[in-house]
Structure formats: structure tokens, C-alpha cells
Amino acid sequence: MIGLEHIAKEFKLEYKKVAEIAGVSSQTVQDWLKERRKIPHKRLEILSAHFGLPKQYFQKDLSYGEREEVYLHYLKGISEEIDAPVYNEDNEVIGSYKRDAYEKEIQYLEEKKRDGEKKQAVIKKLEIVLNMESNEAALLSKTSNLDIINETLQIMQNEKVVDHFSVIVFLLNYNYALGGKAITKIEPELRGFAEDVLNLMKKHNLTK
């Protein structure tokens, strides 16, 4: 499923409406969805401006994090201001205040998005280390090694990413020669992240 199909479903739009937004025929949208033809750059710009999403999202398989970002944009678009009740200690309504209908959901998804960006930063740091051969001169200097150690300590002190760093350490130390799937030994909620790390390790032949 390309991103356009998921975005249309998330925003609860018929393909006819998507065609109207993009300024094309319904058949053209069907051709895009079935990947018979690429979405032209001009139409991507129109879709991106309308939905508030990156152009590349419409023509690729979306990751879990990208699908959550689509949902976040959908909630922001439909969220309306409501009167939220204020309770006292006896659970009695003593007043109200204005807030968006989906304020809590939006805050949760935005916080999750920030956490995801931090995790990706960890993966990028790991990729730099794995690319040691091409960065040998920089990485083998005393200053660079000290920087890596300091950054590692900072990661371990960060409660929001320390679990993910532990996954990286586990996967790097796992004995793949013994067989079995390392992924099954990781907590379910961390397996998506572990899959990303494993793919990176496979790229560098570190799972043999």
C-alpha cells in the first residue's frame, strides 16, 4: 500500500475526493494507487500542501512512525475547541475550560514523535560507528573516542532512550551462529526498533 492510499483512508476520504484535491480524474488516482504510473511532482506538491505532509509520504510504503504522523495531522485537522469540565476533590463539576477535543491524543502522539526522532538519532550514531572503515581517521582519534564514550553515558542516563540503547547493545553482542531469532528475546514494544537496527547490521554483515 503506497502512502496515498493510507492517507486517504486515515482522512476518511473517497478516492473521488482525492482526485478533486489533486485536480485529476478518478482513473488517474487509481493508476497511482496501483502504481501503474508515478504521481507527478506538481500533484505531489498539491497533495502535500493540502494534507500538510511531506511529498515523499504519498508515493512510498509508510513506516509505523510515518503512519502515526499521518494520524496526528488528521486529528489536528478535525480537533475543535470544547468546554472541558473542572472537578473538585469530591468529583463535582465546579467550572470548565477551553481545550481541543483531541488535545490529549495530539500531545501523546507529538511526544511519541519526539521520542522516535531521538531513537533515530541513536541509530544514526550507531551507523557512524559501523562505518568505522570509511571514517577510520576520525573515529580512531582520542578526541573522537572520548566523545563517543561521553555520548554513550548521556544516552544511558536518558530514561526515554536507554531501553532502545540496550536493544542495540544486545543485538551487537548476540551470537547469531547459535541460530534462533534474536528479535524474539526482545520486549514486544521494542521489536519495531530492533528490526530497524537488525536491518542496519545486516547491511554491514554484522549478523553472521
* 137-174 tens-digit pLDDT: 454 454 555 566 667 767 666 776 778 888 888 888 87
196 and 117, same structural domain? yes
Does residue 146 fall inside a structural domain?
yes
Q: What region, left, alpha or beta, does residue 180 occupy, with left being phi > 0 and alpha being psi -120 to 50 degrees?
A: left
Residues 53 and 108 in one domain: no
Domain count, the chain: 2
Q: Same domain for 113 and 199?
A: yes
37-70 per-position pLDDT tens digit: 999 999 999 999 999 899 999 999 998 888 888 9
Report the CATH number that the domain containing residue 36 is assigned in CATH: 1.10.260.40
Does 183 lie in the same domain as 110? yes
Residue 69 within a domain: no
- 83-87, 106-110, 196-200: which has the minimum mean pLDDT? 83-87
In this structure, is residue 20 part of a structural domain? yes
CB atoms closer than 10 angstroms to residue 127: 13
Q: Is residue 27 part of a domain?
A: yes
User: At which of 63, 91, 113 does a domain end?
Assistant: 63
Q: Is the pLDDT of residue 136 over 60?
A: no
**Domain extent for 120:** 104-203
- Does some domain include residue 68? no
Domain check: are 137 and 46 in the same one? no
Question: Domain check: are 47 and 132 in the same one?
Answer: no
pTM exceeds 0.85 for this model: no
SS3 string, 1-44, reads CCHHHHHHHHCCCCHHHHHHHHCCCHHHHHHHHCCCCCCCHHHH
**Is 72 contained in some domain?**
no
| Domain-embedded: residue 52 | yes
- The region that residue 136 occupies, defined by phi over 0 for left and psi between -120 and 50 for alpha, beta otherwise, is alpha
pLDDT of 202:
83
- At residue 84 the predicted structure's pLDDT band, cuts being 50, 70 and 90, is low
Note the pLDDT of residue 132: 54
Domain end marker among 63, 96, 114: 63
